[in-house]
Chains A and B, each alone.
Chain A
C-alpha cells in the first residue's frame, strides 16, 4: 500500500509580483464627487525583492477589517454608497432642469466623469440613495437612476502562489467560492494518509540500520531528537481527533510529506496573503496516519501500512465524525495481489455512517494499467468515487489509470506533458531536509520536520484531494448524504473524452461551480 504521488524537486523561490493597481485606484478616486481624495505617485517600475519572514505564528493577531461609514448595507445585504448616486438624464434635458430635478431629492451635480454617459451626483446628508434614485427614475427627463452599489470581483485568493495553481480555475473553483467560500468549520475531512504536519513537537526516535531498495546500507542513527512543526499554511487550530495507526498513538505526524500536501489541496489556508490556496480552507482536518514511509521503517514503527491498517483508519475516521474521507492510497494487482475486502468493508461502513469517500484511481497506466485494489469497487458503492488525474491541458495524465472503476477525474498534474510546473502546488515538508536517505550515505543525517516549502506533486492522490475538497464544500452547503454527493459530482462534471461515461475520464472533470449550484428543474 502506498500513496499515489509523483514528485519533482523543490520549486524555485517564489517570485513576488507587485501588482500595478494605479489605474484602478485613479479611476476609483475620480468617481468620488465633491470629496477630498488622496493621491499617489508612481516612483519606480521596479521594487526590491520581497522578504520571506518564514513562520508568522509569533505575530500578533491582525485587527478585524473596518468598513468606511460611506457604505450602507441594507436589510437585504445590498451594499451601496450613502452619499451619492448614479443618474442619466435623457438627451436634451437642460442643465437647469437637471439641477431642479436633483434638488427635489437633495442632490447636487457632481464633476464630469470620463468614459461615462451618466452622472454621479452628490446626496445631502440623510438622504436615502434608494428612495432618491427611485424618485429620480420616475421623472420623464431621467432615463435611469440607481444607487452606487458595490461591485465585487469574483473571489480570487491573494495567496502569492495562487497564480501557479492552474488546477483550481480548471474546475471553476473561483466561481464555486462565490457560492461557498471555503466551507464550514463544522465539517471535518479525514486525511487517511501518511499523517499531517499538524503540530509542534520534538520527538525522540531510535534509528536502526537500514537497507535502501537499491542495496545501499545506511548505519544506525541511534537516538535522535527530531523537531516537528505545524505546516504554517495549514494553520494550527483546525485539527480534530488525530490518530496514528502506524505508531499506535495520537501523534500522526507526517514523516513523508504526502499527507501534508494532500491536506493542503483540501484546506490550505487561503486569502491569507501567504503561500498557496486550498479548496475548503475553513473545514476541520482529521489526520489519520495509516501509511508508513522510509523514516517510519528506519525508526522501527510497530505497525506498517497494510490493508488492515487502512481499514482501521477508515473506520476510525467514520466513527469520529468525518463527513469526507480522503484516501489518496492504494495498491494494485501487478504482483498478483488479490482484492481488499477488508478495505471495501471499511468503506461501506464509513458510507453507511454518513461519510463520503474519495479514492485514488491509480498511477500505473504506463505500467500495465493493473487493477487498483482499493478503487476497483467504487462503482458498486454509492458514496465512494474513484478518481483519475488530468493535467493542465485537461487531458488525462499519462500515468492515470484507465478502467471501468474510474468515475471522475480531477487535476492531478502531468509533468510529462506540462513540465516541472505542471503538477499540483501545495505546501509540505521541505524534502531536502527529510529525504536524507535518498542521497549518498555521507549525507545521511537525522531528518527535521519543521521546515516547509511549496512543491509540485503529481498523481491521482492529488486529484483525489480535489474531489474531497469539493465534497467538503458540498457538505458545508448542507448536502450530507454520501450517495447524493457522488451523484451531484457526476451529474455536474464536465464531460471529457468520449461523450458520456468512459474509462479514461469516467463521468468527466469535476466542476466546482456546477456541483455547488446543484440542479433546478430545467438546469
Chain B
C-alpha cells in the first residue's frame, strides 16, 4: 500500500472516532441549553495534521524516491478574527529515502547510493470561512506564502555535495471544517503550492534532466483543530 493510501485510511479512522463524540452531548440535552456565551472577536486555535503530498516535479521525485508522493505530518495555529476571517501558520515535514540515479531517455537508473530528502514548509495563510448559524460544517478558502526548507543528503557526500536551501513560494487552499464539539473540530483540506525555480543547482540533477524546477505540489490533509 502506498503512503497516500495509508493516509486516507488514517483520516477516515480519525473522522469516525471524532464523529462519535457529540452523541454523548446530545443525550444530555434534556434541559434547555444555557445561553451561549458570546464568541470572542479573536480566537486562537491549535491544530495537528497528517496528509499526503504529491510533487509538481513528479518525474524527479519518482526517479529518486520511487514515488511522486509521500506522507506529511505537521501542526500549527490559526487565528479567527470575527466570524469569517482566519490567519493560520503551519509547519509540516516530509521525509523519504531513495537512491541516486542516472537518467537516460526519460528513464531513471539507480546508481547504488542511498539518499534522503526532507522538506519542511512553513506556511502562512489567510482566508475566509463561510459560516452560517447552526452550520456545523464550515467551508473555507485561503492562500498565502510558504517558506520551503529543502534538504537532500546522500552516502559518500561531502558537505558541499549535499543540498540544503530554503525557497519561497505561495499556496492556495480550500477545505471544510466540521465542528465535532465546542472545542474540537476536524478539517479536510486541499492545498496547492508552487515554489518556482527551486531546483536550479546545475545540470547534474534529476530535476534538470526532466526539466522540472518547481518544489511545489498538492497536499491533501486532515486536521484536528483544538479550540472554539
What residues make up the interface of A, taking CB atoms closer than 8 Å to B? 178-179, 382, 474, 477-479, 481, 483-488, 491-492, 514, 516-523
Contacts and interface: CB of A to CB of B under 8 A. Distances in A.
B169 to A, nearest CB: 15
A517 B113 contact: yes
B102 A521 contact: no
Contact of B109 (A178, A479, A514, A520): A479
Interface stretch (B11-19, B173-181, B182-190, B199-207): B199-207
A488 B156 contact: no
Contacts of B205: 519-523
Contacts of B113: 179, 477, 516-518
B111 interface: yes
A520 B104 contact: no
A518 B99 CA distance: 9
A520 B151 CA distance: 11
A178 B165 CA distance: 26
Given A478-B112, A519-B205, A521-B205, A491 B152 contact: no
Given A488-B111, A521-B117, A521-B152, A483 B204 contact: no
Contact of A523 (B65, B112, B161): B161
Contacts of B101: 518-519
B163 A523 contact: yes
Given A517-B161, A520-B115, A522-B150, A484 B206 contact: no
B104 A486 contact: yes
Nearest to A175: B158
Given A477-B113, A520-B206, A523-B152, 20 more contacts: A382-B104, A474-B111, A477-B111, A478-B112, A479-B112, A484-B104, A487-B105, A488-B111, A491-B209, A514-B204, A517-B111, A517-B161, A519-B100, A519-B101, A519-B209, A520-B152, A522-B165, A522-B207, A523-B161, A523-B202
A25 B78 CA distance: 62
Contacts of A523: 152, 161, 163, 201-202, 204-205
B151 to A, nearest CB: 9
A484 B206 CA distance: 13
Interface string B192-212: 000000110111111101000
A517 B104 contact: no
Interface in B100-151: 100-105, 107, 109-113, 115, 117, 150
18 contacts: A477-B112, A478-B111, A481-B104, A481-B109, A483-B105, A488-B103, A488-B104, A516-B111, A518-B113, A519-B102, A519-B103, A519-B206, A520-B64, A521-B63, A521-B207, A522-B163, A522-B199, A523-B202
B60 interface: yes
